[in-house]
A and B are shown apart, each in its own frame.
Chain A
Amino acid sequence: MNDIWTYLHYPFAQHALIAATLVALVSGLIAPFVAARDMAFAVHGSAELAFPTAVAGLLLFDDALTGALLGSVLVAIAIALLGSRRGDGNTAIGVILAFGLGLGVFLLSFYHGYASQATNILFGSIVAVTGRDLAVLGVVAAVVSLLVLVVYRPLFFSSVDPEVAEARGVPVRILGLLFVLMLTVTVTEVAQVVGTLLVLSLAITPAAAARCWTAAPLLVTGLSVLFALLAADGGFLLSLAFVDSGVKASVFITFISFGLYVVARVAAVVRRV
């Protein structure tokens, strides 16, 4: 334990731990809705679409983060408009993703830097989180968490059973747009700061594991946040413990996340027997 404690005195490690916690908190919060709405592909799509929007940001404002933030709003509106019919969503995301990646390659030809390194500027790493990144993450986490708490009940209702929710007067479409917006903003900003791999393993897997344990909405959300925190913070601490191996934190985080999922699946089978 001594060593981890020593390493935690370095500012980069403190930044990484705070970033991991914030990312896990917000990812774990939205993950149950991602699972209920079957929107895992939207997470993947938004993470990849952070590339063209960040390049656009570099060209327009000389700042990838701003571009990604504005771009994620556009991506959310496009996903919500094109995929408004249930069952259409994944196809619409595929269409937008394909166009977006092409656009990114096109935009990159205007970027006069060492371009294959542009991806390096665009996507972060958990050990390279700056104070400014933390501020951005903190604001995103606070806004998204607050929104989720405010619309929690109608959002869950409309995610689980949109037809009945609509019949009861729940504004399903507006909630849908709001959720896609929260999702894309979270995913793109998180991808900017800590990398794409972490978003995928924190915004999808924890809820998938939580849903194996219970069906109670609040409990699913609580477990999902807990699993995300265990994976993110535990993974980073393990990477500090195994620092000499040179294995990256994202590897540990994805492994723990998947491990929790496997345990949940096995336990679900055992309980049924």
Chain B
Amino acid sequence: MQPLRLVAVLSVALISLAGLTACGSGPTSSKDVVEVVAGENFWGDVVSQVGGSHVKVTSIISNPDDDPHEYESSDRNAIAIATARLVVRNGLGYDDFLTKLVSASGAHPKVLTVADVLGVTGADANPHLWYDAPWLPEVAEAVATELGELDPANKAEFEANAKTFTQSLAPLLGVIGQIRSQYAGTPIAYTERVPGYLVQAAGLTLGIPASFAQSVEDGSDPSPHDTVAFNDAIKNGTVKVLLYNAQVTDAQTTEIKRLATDSGVPIVGVTETMPPSYHHLQDWQLAQAKALLEALQKASR
């Protein structure tokens, strides 16, 4: 019976440990503030900018070091969703875990799906919608509409904030316009479709097989044919700039980066999630667009 007694002691110890540590802070919810959960920190930032002091935003994926592909929900996020009145998600399969978290929470928050707002659908659609600067105003307006329904007293303020957000995109759109006017049609390469919409908006073309990026995204090895085509494009300088996902890299993309350095092809690192060093989506995107412009200037020198 000795082992059983020890088990009993252990369980009592465990339970009391749980009890002792439970005296932390409790769930803080204020009735005046609209609690919002965003799947990713960049959409969370848009909600914060539109909602101002009338919202409390929790972003689930916020650390660029977290691999968004191997995400496991924490209790904190589950609690945030259980108390949220609005959930903003990217859609296109990028954050399907949110759907599951919402249905498990037993709560019924309003759900705003960015892909639906922008009307992006279809098989294998590029989910990295936050790189699509010209369309970001639509997202801010949709957020303002949703927040206005949840908090009608501050409707006008939300709409004004959305306008301010749209105006603040001017420098970013300026840089993109400059790339378009000077370098439209220039072939570039990327290892993943992360900056796909930026490349499109800037009028650049993809100088490597699209299926290469698709394979990297799917977590499988690109085919030998695609790999050879990619390497040749960089070695022969048929692509002028290499954009790579600085957040999720593997041996193959690291090798391509090295090849680009050796071949004198300028490299631009982009991230999937907004790094903590940036306060706002537009600042982050502006820095990346500027880096792309500088790389193109360097390549054409």
Contact = CB atoms under 8 A, between A and B. Distances in A.
A4 B73 CA distance: 18
Residue of B7, B75, B93, B94 ringed by the most chain A CB atoms within 10 A: B75
A16 B82 CA distance: 13
B127 interface: yes
Interface stretch (B97-105, B151-159, B200-208): B97-105
A3 B23 contact: yes
B224 interface: no
Interface in A105-127: 105, 108-109, 112-121, 124-125, 127
A230 B71 contact: no
Given A7-B27, A10-B78, A11-B82, A242 B21 contact: yes
Interface stretch (B46-54, B132-140, B212-220, B280-288): B212-220
Given A3-B26, A125-B97, A128-B104, A241 B18 contact: yes
B7 to A, nearest CB: 6
Given A3-B22, A238-B21, A226 B7 contact: yes
A113 B11 CA distance: 45
A246 B79 contact: no
Contacts of B73: 125, 127-128, 248
Interface residues of A, number: 58
Contacts of A238: 17-18, 21
B22 A2 contact: yes
B31 interface: no
A12 B123 contact: no
Instruction: Identify whether the interface residues of A are mostly helix, strand, loop, or mixed.
Output: helix
B259 interface: no
Contacts of A219: 3
Please classify how large the interface on chain B is, using the bins under 10, 10 to 19, 20 to 34, 35 or more: 35 or more
Contacts of A109: 218, 220
7 contacts: A3-B24, A10-B78, A16-B78, A128-B73, A238-B17, A238-B21, A263-B10
When A and B form their complex, which 7 residue pairs have the shortest distance between CB atoms, in order from nearest? Answer: A11-B106, A114-B93, A112-B123, A127-B78, A213-B3, A115-B218, A113-B93
Interface of A: 1-4, 6-7, 10-13, 15-16, 105, 108-109, 112-121, 124-125, 127-130, 133, 195, 213-214, 219, 223, 226-227, 230, 234, 237-244, 246-250, 256, 260, 263, 267
Given A133-B104, A238-B17, A250-B72, 19 more contacts: A1-B18, A2-B26, A3-B24, A6-B26, A11-B106, A112-B123, A113-B123, A114-B127, A118-B93, A119-B69, A121-B93, A121-B97, A125-B101, A127-B77, A130-B104, A237-B18, A239-B74, A249-B75, A256-B14
